[in-house]
Amino acid sequence: MPRTAIVPRSILAIILLSGTALSGGAQTPPDSGRPRTPAPAQAAPPRAWYDRISLRGYAQIRYNRLLESNKQLTCPQCDRSIGNNGGLFLRRGRLILSGDINNRVSIYVQPDYASDAAGTQHYLQLRDAYFDLWLDGAKEHRLRFGQSKVPYGFENLQSSSNRLPLDRNDALNSAVPNERDFGLFYYWASSTARRRFRILTDSGLKGTGDYGVFGFGVMNGQTANRPEANNSLHAVARATYPFRLANGQFIEASIQGYKGRFVVPSRTANVRALPEYADDRVAVSLVWYAQPFGLVGEWNWGEGPEYEASTRSIETGRLRGGFVQSMYRWQVDGQVIQPFVRAQFFTGGKKVEQDARHYEVHEYEGGIEWLPTSSFELTAQYTRSDRLMVDAGLPANYRQKGGFLRLQAQFNY
Are 381 and 79 contacting, i.e. CB atoms less than 8 angstroms apart? no
Instruction: Report the CATH fold assignment for 55-373+383-412.
Output: Porin (2.40.160)
Q: How confident is the model at residue 390 (pLDDT cuts 50, 70, 90)?
A: very high
- DSSP secondary-structure letter at 272? B
What are the tens digits of pLDDT across the range 71-109? 999 998 899 999 999 999 999 999 999 999 999 999 999
Does residue 1 register a pLDDT over 70? no
Cα 136 vs. chain centroid, distance in angstroms? Answer: 24
Read off the amino acid at residue 229: A
Dihedral, CA atoms, 394, 398, 403, 406, nearest 10 degrees? Answer: 20
**Contacts of 403 by beta carbon, 8 Å cutoff, 6+ apart:** 67, 68, 69, 70, 382, 383, 384, 385
Determine what percent of the chain is predicted with pLDDT higher than 70. Answer: 89
What are the tens digits of pLDDT across the range 213-248? 999 999 999 999 999 999 999 999 999 999 999 999
Q: How confident is the model at residue 118 (pLDDT cuts 50, 70, 90)?
A: low
Instruction: Check residue 145 and give its pLDDT.
Output: 98
- Which of 154, 216, 213 lies closest to 189 in space, CA to CA? 213
Dihedral, CA atoms, 351, 352, 353, 358, nearest 10 degrees? Answer: -10
Write out the E strands in 77-140. Answer: 89-100, 105-115, 121-134
What are the tens digits of pLDDT across the range 57-71? 999 999 999 999 999
- Which of 297, 302, 311, 394 lies closest to 347 in space, CA to CA? 302
Tell me how far apart the alpha carbons of residues 235 and 258 are, in angstroms, rounded to a whole number. 6
**Contacts of 7 by beta carbon, 8 Å cutoff, 6+ apart:** none
Does residue 137 register a pLDDT over 70? yes
Instruction: Check residue 39 and give its pLDDT.
Output: 61
What are the tens digits of pLDDT across the range 340-353? 999 999 999 999 99
Q: What is the DSSP string of 301-343?
A: EEEEEEEETTTTEEEEEEEEEEEEEEEE-EEETTEEEEEEEEE
